[in-house]
Amino acid sequence: MSEQAVISAAAQNGARPRGGSLARDSREGHLYSTEQQRFSTREAWETIRKSWPFIRNEQRLVLLKCGLIVFSLVFYLTSPWPMKIVIDNVIDRHPLTGIPAAILLPIVGTSRAALLAVVCLYLLVTLILIGVAGEAPRGLSTGVGGPGLDQAGSTMNDSNAGDSNWNGLFGYFETAITIDLTQRINQVLRTAVYDRFLAAPLGLYADQKIGDAVFRAMHDSAAISNLLYKGIIAPLASFVIFVCTLVILWAQFSREPLIPMIAMITLPIVAISSGVFGRILRTQSQRMREKGSTVMAAFEERITQVQLIKAFGQEARESKQIDAASWGSYSATLRLFAYALVCIIVVVPLVILPVIALVYHLTVQVIHGQLTLGDVTLLLSYGGLLITPMSTIGSTWTALQTSVAGLRRVHSVLENLPSDVAPANGAAFDAPVTEVEFRNVALGYGGETVLRNVSLDLHAGELIAIAGPSGVGKTTIVYAIPQFIPLSAGDLLINGKSFAGGMPHRMRERIGFVFQQEALFSSTIADNIRYGMPDASDADVARAAEMAGAAEFIARLPHGYATMLGRRGARLSVGQKQRIAIARAMIRHPDILILDEPTAPLDAGSEVSLINRLRAIARDRIVLVVAHRPETLSACDRIFFVNDATIAASGSHEDLLRSCPAYAAYLARTNSEIQS
């Protein structure tokens, strides 16, 4: 079974090594403990820096989008001129002066009709290209209005963003590029987070909330697009607009420096306010994402356990808890909006006052005949053009806070999650695995040792069992064979050669796993069997089913191997699911077959049938079962009895009954529990 298949299956089954205080250790050394610390400005900048490589991979599309924006600005920045020319030079018959005179006089001379025709042609061209015909541009966006006042809702737009400041041909082309760019950078980061979870040790899933993991992969990762658009492209484009507008105003109205002066005063006001409110918004955004993650985790856990909830009649109680978690998420989001509103209430008056002063000044200039009506129209138009870039540049830091908070949670996964993938070194092997040996092995989690001085040997041709009281560490030993759990001490030998620290993928390719409560996908039986070997032929699937003893009941199904299974194989009996799981493991022809308490959910008849099947499979490979039923243990060639944090004894069932009182007492307790 492949590493990803093992991890996915174990996660779905709640697989957890039962030999130590993993949950306690996980809680004490919380994976995301850094998120509980104060989110400083320095860390915010560092988060942005660490996110840049995910954007840099798509630099061709980024440059193409920026090129379209810059080229469109030529039309955008000249859009206020047609109205001034029509008012002053066509209607009021003022001669062309300044910039228009330098451009248009060689073309139209003094003809007002020709001048009007050129203006109309220009308006038609700009209307086609960027959707502007003398008025403010109407941008394009794929955003859906009212996605919901929570992080999950707003992420819908973030992860599928496609927009442009313009309309027309350029706008549609830029929007299409933006959609592609958004999907690509989101996909890269989302996949990186997903791969990081897959590479994490199986023990992580004992204490990791799956809903939180999904939220980080799906919703927090979407913040990368906002970082690109609001943190890089928007401020750069706004800076170009801001500078070009000031240059045009200074060239045309050098005697009226008030607009550039007011713009230069207003920009620092917005920027300083952004810095002041940035920390507040960043911290609250972190809380909002945590609350959203809590809601998703709560939904995931309760839907998974819906059978238990119904069985104990706790629907009303669980509904109240979900309602409380959902309101908590909503309240956190509402509080973020409240802080943003306070920021607006404080900043807007500081910006509006200079604008009012400017309008008053221009009106006085018109009254005194120092400016024409066309001049005022042009100045006010450019003043309007300055508002958007000023607010964008000044509020860039504020706008980034929610994105930075999400990316912090993403980098917590990328940097802090442990990995069970060992370096690509150590011994490799090509021959079949016929011997596996532990020599004085110690196993544990964190700094706590769970098992010590573990020595055992497994040989092909034997059906071998590991037995012992619950929680003693049986599954811990099993997970150490494919190196899901690293050895704290001792040595792992494969075919007589040391393999400790070797390449885990090589070992996992030789192992087939069957978990106690096997998870099946809601696809066909054939797809479930070939999951560990996607390229397997139909003949391979049938052969694996025959080896697992599943071919007979599959043939009786209406659609045979094409039969669709319900969620987690709900349409099959427990014994049938076990056989499908064994077939899934056997299709890869593993050298080692490991089964974790395969007979625990079976009745007596099914148990005998399964044991007979395992004995047949064990003729030419290692078959290792974790078991506690006397009937299963008595059928095994050898048993390793785990007790007092080590292998206390080994031998056949009869040998252990005679020589190991602890084993006999363990079986007596087990029989009593089964009968009761």
Residue 89 lies in a domain: no
The confidence score (pLDDT) of residue 496 equals 86
In this structure, which amino acid lies at residue 440? Answer: N
**In a domain? residue 48:** yes
Q: Which residue range(s) make up the domain with 653?
A: 3-7+460-485+502-675
> Which conformational region is residue 409 in: left (phi greater than 0), alpha (psi within -120 to 50 degrees), or beta?
alpha
Query: Which of 411, 431, 446 is the last residue in one of the domains?
Result: 411
Q: Are residues 340 and 480 in the same domain?
A: no
Indicate the range of 86-90, 384-388, 423-427, 429-433 predicted with least confidence. Answer: 423-427
Is pLDDT of 27 > 50? no
In a domain, 445, yes or no: no
Position 438 scores a pLDDT of: 93
Clarify whether residues 144 and 208 are in a common domain. Answer: yes
Note whether 372 and 472 are same-domain residues.
Answer: no
CATH number reported for the structural domain that contains residue 204 in this entry: 1.20.1560.10
What does residue 451 show for φ and ψ, rounded to 5 degrees?
Answer: -130, 145
Q: Are residues 546 and 406 in the same domain?
A: no
What pLDDT, on the 0 to 100 scale, is given for residue 638?
94
Q: Which residue has the higher pLDDT, 453 or 600?
A: 453
One domain, residues 403 and 542: no
The count of domains in the chain is 2
- Do 2 and 509 touch, CB atoms closer than 8 A? yes
pLDDT of 99 strictly over 50: yes
Tally the C-alpha atoms within 13 A of residue 672's C-alpha that lie toward its C-beta: 6
In sequence order, the 6+-apart residues with CB closer than 8 A to the CB of 453 are: 440, 441, 442, 646, 647
173 and 313 belong to one structural domain? yes
Is residue 394 domain-shared with residue 477, that is, in the same domain?
no
Query: In terms of domains, do 395 and 520 share one?
Result: no
Tell me if the pTM is above 0.75.
Answer: no
**Residue 493, in any domain of the structure:** no
Task: State the pLDDT at residue 420.
Answer: 62
- Residue in the structure block whose two tokens are 């014994």: 575
- Over residues 568-590, the pLDDT tens digits come to 566 788 788 888 888 888 898 88
Residue 640 has pLDDT above 90, yes or no: yes
Regarding whether 465 and 380 lie in a shared domain, the answer is no
Q: Residues 44-88: pLDDT tens digits?
A: 888 888 999 999 888 899 999 888 888 888 888 888 888 888 888
Residue 13 covered by a domain: no
Cβ(69)–Cβ(430) under 8 Å? no
Confidence at residue 642, expressed as pLDDT on a 0 to 100 scale: 93
Neighbours of 214 (CB within 10 A): 17
What mean pLDDT comes out for the span 485-494? 87
List the single range of 299-303, 374-378, 538-542 with lowest mean pLDDT: 299-303
State whether 475 and 364 are in the same domain. no
Which of the pair, 636 or 397, is modelled with greater confidence?
A: 636
Residue 455 located in a structural domain = no
- For 329-355, what is each residue's pLDDT tens digit? 778 878 877 877 887 787 777 777 777
Residues 153, 297 share a domain: yes
558 domain-assigned: yes
665 vs 305, residue with greater confidence: 665
What does the buried/exposed string (b/e) look like for 449-487 if buried means 16 or more CB atoms within 10 Å of the residue's CB?
A: ebbbebebebebebbbbbbbbeebbbbbbbbbbbbbbeb
Mean pLDDT is lowest, of 68-77, 303-312, 441-450, for 303-312
406 and 465 part of one domain: no
The residues that bridge with 456 in the sheet, in sequence order, are 438
Q: Is residue 213 part of a domain?
A: yes
Please say if the pLDDT value at position 602 is more than 80: no
Return the percentage of the chain with pLDDT > 70, whole number.
80
* CB neighbour class for 583 (10 Å; exposed up to 12, middle 13-18, buried from 19): buried
Residue 554 is part of a domain; what is its CATH number? 3.40.50.300
Q: What is the mean pLDDT of the chain?
A: 78
- DSSP H or E segment with residue 594: strand 592-596
pLDDT > 50? residue 25? no
- Degrees (nearest 5) of the Cα angle 318, 323, 326? 125
Q: What is the mean pLDDT of residues 163-179?
A: 82
Judge whether residue 565 has pLDDT over 60. yes
Q: Report residue 334 CA to chain centroid gap.
A: 24
Q: In the prediction, which pLDDT does 18 show?
A: 39
